[in-house]
Amino acid sequence: MKYFTTLIIICLSGSAYADKTDSGNDLFQACNAGKEDCDIPIQAAYDTLEYNEYICPPSDMNNEKVKKIVMKNLREKPKERSKPSFDLMVSWFTKSWPCK
């Protein structure tokens, strides 16, 4: 049941901003321009995964550090930017902070 609930939350979180930041390119541009469309989707993905214990980041993690990680990945992996930004963040976060 927890998996199903998490999946629903992830889908809803992702669709809440899908029209503004569909792809990694959209998110990259929004962040470089300093728009609110940058912070909201990053925090939505991070908070959803952390709350449902799909990721276990270090206790000193904060919004700015998470954003830096996302931007680093977007800069270093331009070929991936055409993928949905939410999918990219889920992949990066779960690889970076797996729960043991």
List the structure tokens of 69. 């990680």
Residue 84: phi, psi to the nearest 5? -60, 135
pLDDT one-digit tens code per residue, 16-74: 444 445 899 999 999 999 887 899 999 999 999 999 999 999 999 999 999 999 999 99
Instruction: Sketch the domain layout of the chain as residue ranges.
Output: 2-9+24-96
- Give the pTM: 0.77
- Residue 42: closest CA among 75, 8, 66: 66
Torsion of CA 92, 80, 62, 51, to 10 degrees: -50
